[in-house]
Amino acid sequence: EPEVTQTPSHQVTQMGQEVILRCVPISNHLYFYWYRQILGQKVEFLVSFYNNEISEKSEIFDDQFSVERPDGSNFTLKIRSTKLEDSAMYFCASSEQQDAQHFGDGTRLSIL
Amino acid sequence: GENVEQHPSTLSVQEGDSAVIKCTYSDSASNYFPWYKQELGKRPQLIIDIRSNVGEKKDQRIAVTLNKTAKHFSLHITETQPEDSAVYFCAALLGNQFYFGTGTSLTVIP
């Protein structure tokens, strides 16, 4: 069964540095998403992406964040000037239509 | 935006009993409601979903019911097994954004 893959599985970064989290969605999927989950809390929507542009973003997704689909397979989340509170698990998800999402295994981001 | 509330936050049941988790939503325009199971340290996995034009959907031991008038939907797990132990999240799709509930930690006691 095809899967969403995310790299790296764990990223440790100094506060103030930039990080790029990478995702390879399932190949025939058209909708892409990034979510954040702080330890022990609920999954929080960050952004949805369709047809090479952001279709919706949450209040969390401020100017510090950006997404890109640099080629036909990768979908990246960039966090500029990281803060301690950015420490969380970041999940990428994709779907064929705007319904059943398949999640990746996540990237655990630790800001020191 | 949408506000999704989920109850209970924790639930313990004896193996073989049924478990019911409920979610309410605030915006009647929400039209798709998935349920996810998340085991410790793992990805959320879709276990069942329902669209707003359907009242009930069943898949073996798992069922979801939707009451559009009351704006609530529920997950029903029958004949629970220890491997059902996990955190369950409901969600609602409004526009292009998914809104998640706060999760229910289900423990099935052997």
pLDDT tens column, B41-53: 889 999 999 998 8
Mean pLDDT of chain A: 94
User: pLDDT band for position A90 (50/70/90)?
Assistant: very high
Report whether A6 contacts A36 (CB < 8 A).
Answer: no
Q: Do A98 and B32 touch (CB under 8 A)?
A: yes
Q: Do A99 and B102 touch (CB under 8 A)?
A: no
The CB-side HSE value for B30 (13 A sphere, CA atoms) comes to 30
Q: Do B43 and A45 touch (CB under 8 A)?
A: no
Pairing of strands A75-79, A88-95: unpaired
Q: What is residue B54's predicted lDDT score, i.e. its pLDDT?
A: 84
Q: Which of A50, A58, A103 is nearest residue B44 as measured by Cβ atoms? A: A103
Q: Do B102 and A58 touch (CB under 8 A)?
A: no
Mean pLDDT of chain B: 94
Mapped onto helix, strand or coil, the DSSP state of residue B83 is helix
Q: What is residue A30's predicted lDDT score, i.e. its pLDDT?
A: 92
A47 to chain B, closest Cα gap in Å? 8
User: Which residues of B, range 35-94, sit inside 8 Å of A by Cβ?
Assistant: 36, 42-46, 49, 51, 89, 91, 93
Q: Do B32 and A42 touch (CB under 8 A)?
A: no
Report whether A91 contacts A102 (CB < 8 A).
Answer: no
